[in-house]
Amino acid sequence: MNIIWTGLLLLASLLACTAVTAAEAPPPALDCQNGHWSLRVDGKPFLILGGQVHNSTTADAERLDRACTTLARSGANTAFVPISWELLEPAAGQYDFALVDRAVQDARKHHLRLVLLWFGGWKNGAMHYAPEWVKRDKTTYPRVIDARGGELPTLSPLSEATRRADAAAFRAMMTHLREIDGADHTVLLVQVENEAGYLGADRDYSPAATQRFEGPVPSELTAYLDAHRAALSAPLARAWGESGNRLSGTWTEVFGDMAAEACTGWDVARYVDAVTVAGKEAWPLPMYANAWLAVGNGERAGVWPSGGPNENMIDLWKCAAPHLDFLAPDIYQSRFADICAAYARPDNPLFIPEVSFDPYYPAFAFTAFAGCNSLAFSPFGIDEEGDEPSPAAVQWTRVYGVLRPLLPLIAERQHSGTLFPFAQNLFEEGETTLSIQLGEQLAAVITYTVKFDALKQRGAGMIVRLARDEYLVAGMGFNAVLRELQGPPRDAEILSLDEGTYDEGAWKTQHRLNGDELQLSLPETGRILRVKLLR
Ligand code: DGJ
């Protein structure tokens, strides 16, 4: 009898376990259907409206809590939080996961998701977050040598010992993360290193590295370029093309004036890939590398971290670091659309882990999500200190206030041709400056009502075509008029106009507008309108 009972109990508990497992949501993952990327969280598409805390914030519990409070209040849904190697492994092989625990607990307390940033061997083209025991031991963990023979504060990616140490620490962090977050999925993605590359030199000038530079380009890389020649990034295609699209030779023979950066890129990407593999073996969350972007004006690699995943190097990283899910631009330049276009590719989703916090940038959130199909948008340094919020903070909060309820709708409609974003430029104010065709029969004429001020605010928003006769108009600082494009020139007739919001994807009317208020008027504080047309 006892044996039968024990057997039945065992069976029942096994069935219960199976039921729990089956009900558990899958871990966060990227999905790509016909070149259209999405981030799936708990089985649904998710857009990250984020904010990145300052570099040292995680080390201070109170500061991190304040930062998460600010973020949650602004309408953001995700915090980007660094975890530094120096604090995670203060002595070789001895791990302290306090920072990871703190970040996860704080995010949960404020109902935020997390992107963890692994500040390991690399931070901004240097190694400032490596532990002291790594920094002191230059024999085991050698530095990159610049063109004058001086040591850079950058660890050489050619060192097997450095790579193994960085990868082991990252693996330990991911193992711990799986233990504390494997079921909850507070952490959605992990950034591997930060703005990798060599700051201060285009390549390593040590004798061993110079010998490699003078040797042949790996055939794996030239085969990759050959197979992807129609889709290469413009700068790399130019450099390779000017050298005759050679499929073998030294770095200089194959890449011409981009040779030094290409050789560096190969070594850096290989290193980051190895660290990624170690982390994924422990907990296979989506992982990416972020780029300090190249600048033009005749500057050379080394002014930006040479060999990082910038626009010159995207294809080379795709070949050398296949375990990374994507490469992501940190945007502190005004050529926003060009940068987005370079990173939004069938083999790479657009994901913006950092944009400048300046008041000029929040408007780009509409462009990023609704125009460029970005999966994430996140200003750097949201945790400013001070009694009064800065003009930038005010602007971010207004934009996020409008966008947050719209995220599920935007996620569903990216790539559909029904989203029409816009953002005010210099000289666009008070007069009709923008006409957007919303379909064959309708256009929106946008007139900005705020003064363009790069240091304070600018108008911005988006229109969503919900149906042939139904539109959403959202944003701040503009008036819109809908114009019929067929028949006699005229404004479209408004059947009804509501101010409202979305709650869990369902429209909630807050205010029916009519009479004097029957206008698509969006104040500088932000608003969402839903308009039905009589057509
Ligand atoms: C880009 C880096 O990735 C961030 O960690 C931070 O240092 C910012 N630059 C500062 O502007």
Using CA atoms, how far apart are residues 327 and 340, in angstroms rounded to an integer?
12
β-partners of residue 442 are 484
Q: What is the DSSP letter of 55?
A: T
Average pLDDT for 255-263: 98
Sorted by sequence, the CB contacts under 8 Å of residue 535 that are 6+ apart come out as 441, 468, 469, 492, 493
Q: pLDDT confidence of 427, banded at 50, 70, 90?
A: confident
pLDDT for 343 equals 98
Closest by CA to 288, choosing from 266, 273, 301, is 273
Measure 360 CA to ligand 1 centroid, in angstroms: 18
Q: Is the pLDDT of residue 26 over 80?
A: yes
Average pLDDT, the chain: 94
Average pLDDT over residues 117-122: 98
User: For position 173, what pLDDT does the model report?
Assistant: 98
More confident residue, 426 or 96: 96
Rg of the chain over Cα atoms, rounded to whole angstroms, equals 26
**Where do the DSSP E strands lie in 238-347?**
287-292, 326-331
Q: What is the pTM of this model?
A: 0.94
CB neighbour class for 184 (10 Å; exposed up to 12, middle 13-18, buried from 19): exposed
Q: What average pLDDT score do residues 224-229 get? A: 98
Residue 298 CA to ligand 1 centre (angstroms): 23
Q: Ligand 1 centroid to 185 CA: how many Å?
A: 26
* Long-range contacts at 57-60 (CB < 8 A, ≥ 24 apart): 57/81, 57/82, 57/383, 58/82, 58/83, 58/84, 58/99, 58/102, 58/103, 59/84, 59/87, 59/99
Going by pLDDT thresholds of 50, 70 and 90, the confidence category of residue 14 is very low
Q: Please report which confidence band the pLDDT of residue 71 belongs to, taking 50, 70 and 90 as the band edges.
A: very high
The reported pLDDT for the residue numbered 535 is: 86
Confidence of residue 6 (pLDDT cuts 50, 70, 90): very low
Nearest to 335 by CA among 376, 367, 305: 367
CATH number of 419-534: 2.60.220.20
The per-residue pLDDT for range 365-413, each reduced to its tens digit, is 999 999 999 999 999 999 987 888 999 999 999 999 999 999 999 999 9
Kindly report the CATH class assigned to 24-205+264-413. alpha beta
pLDDT of residue 89 exceeding 90: yes
Residues with CB under 6 A from ligand 1: 55, 124, 194-195, 330, 354, 380
Tokens of residue 234, six digits: 């413009």
Closest residue CA from atom 8 of ligand 1? 380
Residue 514 reports pLDDT greater than 90: yes
What mean pLDDT comes out for the span 443-453? 96
- The amino acid occupying position 446 is I
**Would the pLDDT of 297 be above 50?**
yes
What are the distances in angstroms from CA 440 to CA 422, 443, 485? 19, 8, 7
CB 75 within 8 A of CB 403: yes
Q: Determine the residue type at 499.
A: E
Residue 117 CA: which ligand 1 atom is closest? 5
Which residue minimizes the CA distance to atom 10 of ligand 1?
A: 380
In percent, how much of the chain has pLDDT > 70? 96
pLDDT at 289: 99
Q: Above pLDDT 90, what percent of the chain?
A: 90
The structural domains of the chain, with segments of one domain joined by +, span 24-205+264-413, 419-534
pLDDT value of position 143:
98
The best mutation among 118, 304, 354, 361 to test binding of ligand 1, ranked by most ligand atoms within 8 Å of the C-beta, falls on 354
Banded model confidence at residue 22, pLDDT cuts 50, 70, 90: very low
pLDDT (0 to 100) of residue 7: 44
β partners of residue 306? 198
